[in-house]
Amino acid sequence: MTSPVAPPVTPPVAPVRPVTRSHHGDEVVDDYEWMRDTENPEVIAHLEAENAYAEATTAHLSDLRDTLFEEIKARTLETDLSVPVRHGDWWYYSRTEEGRSYAIRCRCRVSDPDSWDPPVLSADAPVPGEEVLLDSNVEAEGHEFFSLGAFSLSDDDTLLAWSVDTTGDERYTIRVKDLRTGEVLPDEITGASAGATWSAGGTHLFYSTVDEAWRPHRIWRHALGTGGGQEGPEADVLVHEEPDERFFTGVGRTQSERFLVIGSSSKTTSEARLLAADDPEGEFQVVFERTTGLEYSIEHAVLGAGDPAADHLLVLHNEDAPDFELVSIPLTDALSDDVRSPTQAASRTVVVPGQPGRRLDDIDVFARHLLVGYRSDALPRIGVLTVGADGYGPLREVPFGEELFSAGVGANAEWDQPLVRVGFGSFVTPGTVYDLDPDTFELVLRKQAPVLGDYDPSAYVQHRTWATADDGTRVPVSVVARADTPRDGTAPTLLYGYGAYEISIDPGMSTMRLSLLDRGFVFAVAHVRGGGELGRAWYEGGRLEHKANSFSDFVAAGRHLVAEGWTSHDRMVAEGGSAGGLLMGAVLNLAPDDFRGVLAAVPFVDALTTILDPSLPLTVTEWDEWGNPLEDPVVYHRMKSYSPYENVQARPYPAVLAVTSLNDTRVDVVEPIKWVSRLRATTTGEAPILLKTEMHAGHGGVSGRYNAWRERAWELAWIIWTATGEPTT
């Protein structure tokens, strides 16, 4: 198999400075660990040299990159409005404007309190009575990076709390604005996580902060008007601290807005605390104390208006139900010290029973209806139940008419709204917003994301096929292509994968992806074990001692596409990011001849080194996912057997592009630096191995839509060149 050959540009060479790591009687010499210190000017200089090399190596793609950017831009309605969402006496929406990178958040008054039809707004005309609440373009001025975290309204719509991150390190500053006067209040909280939650009455804000490992571990209460912060004479009050380093903690409100909820969770265990939202200085009460392996989440439901005994907690849990069960428990019973778990409550009602292969994911509760998000047959679905004084009705699925699709509950702010906002989309259908009548199942179209130009959904086909893994397991593979794409093995292909944390990669349309499909590409997703597409068993089959299944599943998916005639190995590129970057690195070592190239974004490729060091961000929380190699020699040797950096060998590797960010707090920039350095020093082939680092961003990459389009155009140009061998325009 041939690979694109780099132009005669000299790549940077990282100095070799060996350090020895010793665990469980195993000594490992690491030549590049010294580059972990990003305060070292030599490391920054090396990253800049890598960026220069990547630019020089791909300079011949500059015209293609410009073309791709203009294609993406031309398909996008740059001046647009979202569908308004009602909260109180206001309709809230966001707008984008041509030439501006960020959204502007606005509102206008409800003209008819009895109507739940959102106003039909035009981007080309002024909105009567519009109030601009937050212009992120103004907030972003003077910053290379900008991310909006919280955007939280008080119950009476008079106060707005919002938070911003201007470095990419996911530490936010919270501010408060009085929407009656437009005044930004002196309250300012630094070093917070993204969210901010109001108490009833708007007297207090609750928020979380992170520890040195970037783990949200403390919940604070801030009294409005006291400045803000965790130190000083008017310091905010610490209401919860999570000492277990495996657990994250956060705070929010129930959909009824009656209760504040503090949630703590590891990868396998969770715990919730409850407090009446109108008693912000009260004590949070534990619902079910944590029990290893018990995961649960809660929502508030009312069975019968005006009766205090009608208050129930809806509990979504996995006790004796691996794919989760939904039960309803009277509130007083759920908070009883005698009830230690969801199944111990004799008063519980099973609302949706657990069923293997039907994974219950989340619930949205309204005054008269309950919506359940779940997945079966590797697709996300929506179910509806009625809520009344007599209990709950049966689960009914909202029907959607495509073979592959994604469906989920959208933004809904009002407890007693008669219509429910839902979203739908597929690989060929743009994201669509509906209002669902939960009684009649009528779907009222509110908006479909516009795709400018001559886009015709019927010109494309989407398809589910099944690969067979090494152990005989059937692995779902989703495929989308133009209908006229040949099935003779000549089509270039991009195969995407993730496979960790029970995260599912669901069907969705991308206007950026059209630039590949319209050039004859096939796009496919390998739904490998470790994800959540086929329920909890699918996740368990790709974690801990079964992690290698994720890698072999991906290889099997690629070979299946070749066997079905979609493509050939020398025209296929693989892509994955973060934990999917680990997948890419492992696949590169497992089957380097199966792919023409590999694109790894913010890749977790030095997994063993990271998971061995509990002082690094997120390491301890990750032990539930990968195991603890620090204490367990079996885990150590298992991780060493697949960790990409550990297993680079002298062989001809295909083309590699690693993209990362200097301020990434989830996957340290040192991981791709070390990996690329070792790959380049070890490969016996001539295919280019590139590292591209965004110097002003975090785990999610660059900020601003135009920057994001340009970055993706850069990557798409590399994919096209790598898969076809030509800088085709």
Q: Is the Cβ–Cβ distance between 495 and 521 less than 8 Å?
A: no
Evaluate if residue 98 carries a pLDDT over 60. Answer: yes
Evaluate if residue 345 carries a pLDDT over 60. Answer: yes
pLDDT digits (tens, 9 = 90+) for 123-157: 888 999 999 999 999 999 999 999 999 999 999 99
The helix or strand, by DSSP H or E, that contains position 723, with its residue range, turns out to be helix 705-724
pLDDT digits (tens, 9 = 90+) for 5-56: 555 689 999 999 999 999 999 999 999 999 999 999 999 999 999 999 999 9
Q: Give residue 4's pLDDT.
A: 59
Q: Is the Cβ–Cβ distance between 446 and 424 less than 8 Å?
A: no
Q: Give residue 304's pLDDT.
A: 77
Residue 426 falls in the annotated catalytic set: no
Q: Give residue 515's identity as a one-letter amino acid code.
A: S
Separation between Cα atoms, residue 570 and residue 565, nearest integer Å: 13
Evaluate if residue 224 carries a pLDDT over 50. Answer: yes
Q: Give residue 213's pLDDT.
A: 83
Evaluate if residue 337 carries a pLDDT over 80. Answer: yes
CA distances from 425 to 373, 433, 442, 508 (A): 15, 9, 17, 6
Evaluate if residue 417 carries a pLDDT over 70. Answer: yes
CA distances from 718 to 64, 82, 102, 723 (A): 9, 33, 27, 8
List 3, 297, 328, 578, catalytic entry: 578
Token pair in block for residue 206: 């609750």
39 phi, psi to nearest 5 deg: -85, -10
CA distances from 103 to 92, 294, 391, 421, 452 (A): 13, 40, 42, 21, 20
Q: Give residue 2's pLDDT.
A: 45
Q: Is the Cβ–Cβ distance between 244 and 621 less than 8 Å?
A: no
Token pair in block for residue 324: 């989760």
- Measured in residues, the chain has a length of 729
Q: What is the mean pLDDT of residues 321-327?
A: 98
List 217, 369, 527, 699, catalytic entry: 699
Q: What is the mean pLDDT of residues 327-350?
A: 93
Question: Residue 346: is it exposed, middle or buried by C-beta count within 10 angstroms (0-12/13-18/19+)?
Answer: exposed
Q: Give residue 615's pLDDT.
A: 85
Share of the chain above pLDDT 70, in %: 98
**Segments of 125-182 assigned E as strands:** 131-135, 147-153, 159-165, 172-178
Q: What is the mean pLDDT of residues 651-669?
A: 91
CA distances from 207 to 172, 174, 217, 239, 504 (A): 11, 9, 11, 10, 28
Q: Give residue 7's pLDDT.
A: 53
Residue 664 falls in the annotated catalytic set: yes
Token pair in block for residue 585: 């690195």
Lowest mean pLDDT among 73-77, 546-550, 617-621: 617-621
> What do you get for the CA distance between the two ends of the chain, in Å?
24
- Bigger pLDDT: 618 or 516? 516
Q: Give residue 700's pLDDT.
A: 78
Q: Give residue 524's identity as a one-letter amino acid code.
A: A
Separation between Cα atoms, residue 709 and residue 702, nearest integer Å: 10
Q: Do the bridges between strand 204-210 and strand 197-198 make them parallel or antiparallel, or are there none, so unpaired?
A: antiparallel
Evaluate if residue 167 carries a pLDDT over 60. Answer: yes
Evaluate if residue 307 carries a pLDDT over 90. Answer: no
Q: Give residue 411's pLDDT.
A: 87
Ramachandran area for residue 227 (φ above 0: left; ψ -120 to 50: alpha; else beta)? left
Tokens 């739904």 locate to 527
Evaluate if residue 519 carries a pLDDT over 60. Answer: yes
Q: What is the mean pLDDT of residues 469-487?
A: 97
3-state secondary structure 18-40: CEEEEECCEEEEECCHHHHCCCC
Residue 699 falls in the annotated catalytic set: yes
DSSP per-residue codes, 258-272: SEEEEEEE-SS-EEE
Q: Give residue 1's pLDDT.
A: 45
Using alpha carbons, select from 513, 491, 503 the residue that is nearest to residue 583: 503
DSSP per-residue codes, 61-116: GHHHHHHHHHHHHHHS-SSEEPPPEEETTEEEEEEE-TT--S-EEEEEE-S-TT--
CA atoms within 13 A on the CB side of 20: 4
**Segments of 389-521 assigned E as strands:** 391-392, 396-397, 406-409, 420-425, 432-436, 443-448, 460-468, 474-482, 493-497
Evaluate if residue 341 carries a pLDDT over 80. Answer: yes
Q: Give residue 668's pLDDT.
A: 87
Token pair in block for residue 475: 């692995």
Using alpha carbons, select from 701, 480, 510, 509 the residue that is nearest to residue 599: 701
Q: Give residue 153's pLDDT.
A: 97
Separation between Cα atoms, residue 303 and residue 469, nearest integer Å: 48
Separation between Cα atoms, residue 665 and residue 675, nearest integer Å: 18
List 560, 664, 668, 703, catalytic entry: 664
Count H helices, E strands: the chain?
13, 40
Evaluate if residue 308 carries a pLDDT over 70. Answer: no
Q: What is the mean pLDDT of residues 637-646?
A: 98
Look over the chain and give the mean of its residue pLDDT values, rounded to a whole number. 94
pTM of the model: 0.94
